[in-house]
Structure 1
Amino acid sequence: MRIRIVGAGPAGLYFAALMKRHDPSHEITIHERNPRDATWGFGVVFSDRALEFLRADDEALYRYLTPHLETWPEITIVHNDTRIPIAGNGFSSIGRLELLTLLYAYVEKLGVKILFGSEVNSLDALGEADLIVGANGAFSWIRTQNEAKFGTTTDWRPNRFIWYGTTKAFDSLTLTFRATDVGVFCAHHYRYKPDRSTFLVEVEEGTWKRAGFDAMAPGDTIRYCERVFAKDLEGHTILSNNSYWRNFPAVWNERWSFDNVVLVGDALRTAHFSIGSGTRLAMEDALALFKAFRECGTSDLKAALARYQETRLPPMKKIWDAANVSIRWYERMDALVGTLTPVEFAYSYMTRTGRVDHAEVRRRDPQLAAAYEKLHPEVAAP
C-alpha cells in the first residue's frame, strides 16, 4: 500500500509506525514542512489514564517512551495565594521536540521515510497514493481545502492564550489563577524536563484588552506576565518559542474521509488543552485507523475508513464534549475566582466537565471532599 502522510506529529508518526510494523511492504512517506529540529511550544502532558491506553495497546512503544517522561501523582490548584493539592490525578510530561525526536527515530528504524522541509499544498502534489492521511494539525490545509466534503465547523472561542515556557521546574501540573486590577490570569504549568516547564498563560478577552496586550511588544508581554506570576516563578524567566496570543479553534468534522483521504489528530478535531488529552487523542486516532485497516484489509479502503469513524467516534466524542465544557469553565474564570472560596474553586475545577461527581472526588481526594462537605453539607452521602 502506498501511504502518504502530511504532518510528522504524534498522529502521523504513530500511524506510520503501526502500519509499517504490521506489514513492512507498505511504502510510507511522511511530508513535514518543518526542519527535523524545529517545533513550536514546549512540553506535552499525558494523564495516567492516557498512558494506560498506550500500555494496553502497544507495550513496546510504552516502554520506549516512559524512561523519558517526568511524572507526578497530583495536580495543584492555586487560587491567588492559596495552594490546594488534589490527589488521585497522576500525570506525565515530555518536551514536544523530545517526543517527536524519539518518534522520528522509531519510525525511521522501521523503514518509514520522513521528508523534512517538505512544503506540500495540494493533494495532487503528493503523487500517486492509495491512502492520504491528513495529520497536519489544527490548521490543516487538507481540511480547509475540502471543508464541504468533511463537513467542517470551527468555533473560535473568546479567551486568549499564549504558550510560553520557563526555567522553573514545577513539582506538579498546576493551574494558577491570579486576580489583578485588569482581570484574572491563569497559568497552566508543569515540568517537562528537570530544568524546564511549560507555562501557558490564559486570560478572558476583556482582560487581554484592558492589559493592552493587543498593542504590546513581545518582550513587554513577557515582562508583564512575569510580574503577574512573580510569586510563582520565584525569579525564573519566561521563555518564548514563537509565542503569540491566540484564540482556540474548536474544530469538528462530520465526515472524517472522502475518496482516499482521511483525517487524524488536530486536523480531525481539536480538544482544548485544559483537559491535557491532545496528544493522547492523536495517538488513539492513529491506533483506531490502523485497527480498521487490520480488520477490513487494505484492499477495501471504503470499508476501512467507514469502520475507523464508526469505532472511534463514540469514545473520542466523549472527550471532545468534555473539552468543550472545560473551555466554557475557563471563559468564566474571572467570576469564579471572584465568588468562590479556594476550596469551592478547586472543587469546581475538578467537577467542571460533569465527568467527575462528588463520589469520585471523595475517592480521588478524601481531604478535598471533606473540606467541601463542611461548606456544603447537603452533598455529603447519608
Structure 2
Amino acid sequence: MNSTIQISPPEKITVIGGGPGGLYFSILTKKAFPDCQIDIYERNKADDSFGFGVVFSDETLGEFLTRDTQSYDLIRSKFAYWDDIVVARDGEKVSISGNGFCGCSRKTLLQLLQQRCHEEGVNLHFEQNIDDVSDFHDSDYIVACDGINSSIREKFKSDFQTTVELKKNKFVWLGSTKPLDAFTYFFRTTPFGTFVAHSYQYEEGMSTWIFECAPETWEKLGFETTNETDTIQKLSELFSEELDGHALISNRSHWRQFPAITNKNWHKDNIVLLGDAKATAHYSIGSGTKLAMECAIALSDSIVRHGINKEAAFAEYEKLRRNKVEMIQYAANVSLDWFENMNRYINFDFQQFAFGVMTRSKKVTFENLALRDVSFPQKVLQEFNTRINASHINIPAAFTYFQLKKLKLENRIVMAPMGQYQAEDGVPNSWHFSHYTQRALGGLGLIITEMTAVNPNGRITLGCTG
C-alpha cells in the first residue's frame, strides 16, 4: 500500500538581496507555495544596476526554459546571441565557432525577474539595507544572497567558515557603444605590461569590457582605484584600435581584485547562503550569474521537496550543488591563474597563444575544439609543424621529432618510469631487458627507466637497481 509523505510548507521566507539568484529563487518557490509569504529586501533602488552585461550558455538557457517559461520568454527576447569566440592580440586575430552563448543587460535581467516576482505575488522592498536578521525571527527560511560583500555572511563567518582570498590581478568593469559580433579577448602588449579586455555585446549598441592587468602594470601606468575619468582616458588610448572610435562608459567602475570566496558551511540555523555570498567564480569563465541562478533552482527544489524540514532541505541543497559549485570554482581558478600569468604566454606563436586561451581552464581539449570548429585546431597544428620544419604540415604534434640537446627523439611520446623490483643484488637482468625492449618496439620516442640507487643502502627494496 503506497503512502504519500505529507510535508509542511513554509509560511514565510525572507530573501536578503535582490540579485538574479534571489529573484529567481523567489519566483520558483512562490509558484510551488502560493500561500507562502516571500519578501525580498534589496539595498539598491529597483532600477539600479552596477555592471553592464551578463552571459549564459545554451545549456543554461535550456534549464531556465523548463523551470519558468514566462521568465525564459521575457529574457530570451532581450538576448544578444553569438556563436564565435575571437582571440585578438596586437592586430592579429582568429575566430573559433561552435561556442553558443548569449548576453543581456544585467539591468534588463533584474527588471524582467522583478516583473515575474510581482506577477507571482512576491513582495519586493527596495532601498532596504539588512545586516541584522533578528527582525526575521518568524521566517522559516532566511536566504542570504546579498552579494560578494555579504553583511549576513560576514556577521556569521565563523559559523559558515568563510574564506576570502583576493587574487592579484587588477580589473575594472566598463561598457562601450562598440558593437561586437563575438565574445572577444583583446590582448594588448604595452611598454608597461600586458592588458586583456574580456568583451561581448549584450544588447543593441552596448557591450561589456572587463579590462585586466597585473598589479605592476597597473602601478606603472599610475591608475587610481576610484578615478573613473582617468581610467577611461588611459584605457581608451591603449585600446584605441579595438574601440574604433567608440567611447568607454563607466558605472561605479572602480579597479578591484577578484575575491575567491568559499564557505565550508552553506547554512546556519535557518539562514542559507546563495549566489556570490556563498561562492564566487572568476568572470573569465562567465559563470557568476549562471552559478547563482542554478543554485537558486536547487535551493528552491530542496525546500519544495522538504518544506520546513530545514535539515533535510539544506542537506539536499548541498548534495545537488556542492560538487558542481566546487568544479566550476576549480575551473574558474585555473582560468584565473592563466590570466595572472599571461605574460608567460604572450609571446607564443599566435595560433598557439590562442589555443592556450581557449584551453586555459583545462575543460576544453584539442579534440573538443575540433568538434566545435575543425579549422582552428588545424591552424594551430599547421603553425606548429611549420615552425619545427616537420615533414608534413598535418602531423599530430605527439608524432613530431623533438631535439633534446644533442639527442633527437623521433616523437614526443615518453614512457614514465615504472619500478620492476626484479634486480638481483642491484643488477638489472633479463626481466628488465624484456620489459624495456618490448616497449621500445612499440615506437616510443623516449623510455625513462626505473630509478637507480646511488649505493646499496639507497635501495628501497631488495629488488631495486643500483
Alpha carbons 2:28, 2:68 under 8 Å: kept: no
Change (3 A) 1:109 1:56: closer
- Higher-Rg structure is 2
For 1:362, the aligned partner's letter is A
Secondary structure, counterpart of 1:250 in structure 2: strand
Partner in structure 2 of residue 248 of structure 1: 258
Superposed structure 1 runs of 4+ greater than 4 Å apart:
none
Q: Which residue of 2 aligns with 1:141?
A: 151
Cα distance change, pair 234–266 in 1 and its aligned pair in 2 (3 A): same
Deviation at 1:241, TM superposition (A): 0.4
Query: Which sits farther off after the overlay, 126-135 or 71-80?
Result: 126-135
Name 2:172's counterpart in structure 1: 162
Question: 1-side partners of 2:297 and 2:399: how far apart?
Answer: 41
Cα distance in 1 between the residues matched to 2:308 and 2:59: 34
Tell me, yes or no, if the aligned pair for 1:75 and 1:90 is still in contact at 8 Å.
Answer: no
Does the aligned pair in 2 maintain the 1:79–1:345 contact within 8 Å?
no
Does 1:345 find its partner at 2:353? yes
State yes or no: 1:336 paired with 2:345.
yes
Inter-partner Cα distance in structure 2 for 1:38 and 1:142:
21
Amino acid at match of 1:363: L
User: 1:98, 1:60 → 2: CA distance?
Assistant: 15
1:287 aligns with 2:297: yes
- Bigger relative contact order, structure 1 or 2, given CA contacts below 8 A and separation 6+? 1
> Residue 274 of structure 1 corresponds to which residue in structure 2?
284
Whole-Å separation in 2 of the counterparts to 1:215 and 1:60: 41
Q: Could you tell me which residue of structure 1 aligns to residue 428 of structure 2?
A: none
Q: CA deviation at 1:378?
A: 4.0
1-structure distance, mates of 2:81, 2:175? 18
The residue type equivalent to 1:45 in the other structure is: V
CA deviation after TM superposition for structure 1 residue 293, in Å: 1.7
Equivalent of 1:71, from 56, 59, 81?
81
Alignment partner, residue 373 of structure 2: 365
Segment of structure 1 superposing worse, 372-381 or 91-100: 372-381
Distance 1:215 1:268 in 2: 26
Does residue 313 (structure 1) correspond to residue 322 (structure 2)? The answer is yes
Q: Tell me the distance in 1 between the aligned counterparts of 2:67 and 2:115.
A: 20
CA RMSD of aligned residues (A): 1.6
> Where in structure 2 are the equivalents of 1:158-197 lying within 5 Å?
158-197=168-207
Pairwise CA distance, 1:277: 1.0
- Offset, 1:64: 2.6
| Alignment partner of 1:234 out of 240, 244, 247 | 244
1:273-330 Cα shifts (integer Å, max 9, x gaps): 00011111101001001111222x2131111011101121122221111001010000
Q: CA separation in 1, counterparts of 2:255 and 2:187?
A: 18
Q: What is the correspondence of 1:70-219 to structure 2 with a 5 Å cutoff? A: 70-214=80-224, 217-219=227-229
Q: From the two aligned structures, give the one with the greater helix fraction.
A: 1
Q: Do the aligned partners of 1:169 and 1:193 also contact (CA within 8 Å) in 2? A: no
How many residues matched?
380
Deviation by residue 1:245-281 (Cα, 9 ceiling, x = unmatched): 0000000011100100000111110000000111111
Q: Identity rate of aligned residues, in percent?
A: 37
Displacement after TM superposition at 1:55 (Å): 2.8
Partner of 1:264: 274
Offset from partner CA, 1:146-172 (integer Å, 9 cap, x none) = 111111111110000000001112111
Q: Does structure 2 retain, via aligned residues, the 8 Å contact 1:358–1:379?
A: no
CA contact (8 A) 2:162 2:261 kept: yes
Report the TM-score when normalising by structure 2. Answer: 0.79
SS in 2 for 1:68: coil
Is the strand fraction higher in 1 or 2? 1
Distance in 2 between residues matched to 1:312 and 1:218, nearest whole Å: 38
Q: CA deviation at 1:61?
A: 2.6
Distance 2:137 2:398 in 1: 63
Aligned partners of 1:381 and 1:196: how far apart in 2? Answer: 46
Task: Provide Cα deviations, 1:330-376, integer angstroms capped at 9, x if missing partner.
Answer: 00112211x21221111101111111111101111211111112215
Task: Give 3-state SS (helix, strand or coil) of 2:361's partner.
Answer: coil
**Under a length normalisation based on structure 1, what TM-score does the superposition of the two structures give?**
0.96
* CA distances 1:46-80 after superposition (whole Å, capped 9, x unpaired): 12232233234444432231111010111111111
Deviates more, 1:80-89 or 1:55-64: 55-64
d(CA) in 1 for partners of 2:231 and 2:162?
34
